[in-house]
Amino acid sequence: MRGRSAFERVVVFVLVLGGLWALWEGYRWLWLRTGWTRPFTVNEYTLPHLHDIVLQLGEHTSTGDDLWLFLLHAALFTARAAAVGFLFGATIGFLLGVILAQFDVLRRGIMPYVVASQTIPILALAPIVVRGLGSVTVGGSPPPDWLRVSVIAAYLTFFPVTVNTLRGLRSADPRALELMHSYAARGWTVLWKLRVPSALPYIFTALKVAATASVVGAIIGEAPASIQEGLGGAIINFNQYYTLDPENLWATNLYAALLGIAFFLVVVLAEKVVVRRAPERLV
């Protein structure tokens, strides 16, 4: 195989990390020293020291916990909403893609609305949906906060999955379709044995996009609906006290980024397990 050794990967990772750190701190140092104000003035608020952000994780917050633990709880709350939303959105997206691929009439009729759904600013839609669902009662009580938030994550997730499923299902080799025809295969057999496996690389490309989008969706779902427990709540909160502790907000962003990366890696791992394909033919 042409893959690099684990040692090389670690070296590259450390080098890139070091490079980013050097860029950040070098920029900060140079701008502070020269007093340059373009494109933005550098000070403790716009560009704190990276080590200050990391050290801040050990500080107490107003809740009594250390920041790292507080953010870990927040990240887990957001992760649950994002994961449920991702699974839900990916399932809906896949099924919608399959249905639209099977029925041409539906595809022409429904696709414009699917596209339109993504042009509505999520920031405007999220509070309406999350608050609205708060007044719905299911079995005597409104759905829990994280479940309402997961709807927004699902909303951002389904679209890329639908589009790529549709594209992938239509990517099957015409000769392979003739082959299935020669076996007198039924539509569902062709779908299951040929079209879906052909579509998998496309679907996984969409799932990678959707994985990070679901985290963003969950954060955006929490933020304007004043749900406090997650990273979205933490962002709103720390934003208000930014002049006091700018590192708190930066640290929150760090957690959000790590959560997005974790989601992405899970999809990459799943792809390696599921998709059996010549390395150069992976989309």
The count of residues interacting with another protein (CB under 8 A) is 20
Instruction: For another protein, give the closer residue by CB, 2 or 276.
Output: 276
176 in contact with another protein (CB under 8 A): yes
Q: How far is the CB of 102 from another protein (least distance, A)?
A: 19
Nearest to 60 by CA among 51, 52, 69: 69
193 in contact with another protein (CB under 8 A): yes
- CB neighbours (10 Å) of residue 229? 18
Q: How far is the CB of 232 from another protein (least distance, A)?
A: 39
| Binding span for another protein by CB under 8 A among 54-62, 179-187, 232-240, 258-266 | 179-187
Separation CA 165–CA 107 (nearest Å): 13
Options 105, 184, 244, 273; binder of another protein; rule CB under 8 A: 184
203 in contact with another protein (CB under 8 A): no
178 in contact with another protein (CB under 8 A): yes
Q: Specify the long-range contacts of residues 223-227, CB closer than 8 Å, at least 24 apart.
A: 223/126, 224/123, 224/126, 224/127, 224/130, 225/126, 225/127, 225/130, 225/131, 225/134, 225/148, 225/149, 227/130, 227/145, 227/148, 227/149
185 in contact with another protein (CB under 8 A): yes
Separation CA 276–CA 278 (nearest Å): 7
Residues in contact with another protein by the rule CB under 8 A: 173, 175-176, 178-179, 181-185, 189, 193-194, 197, 200, 275-278, 281
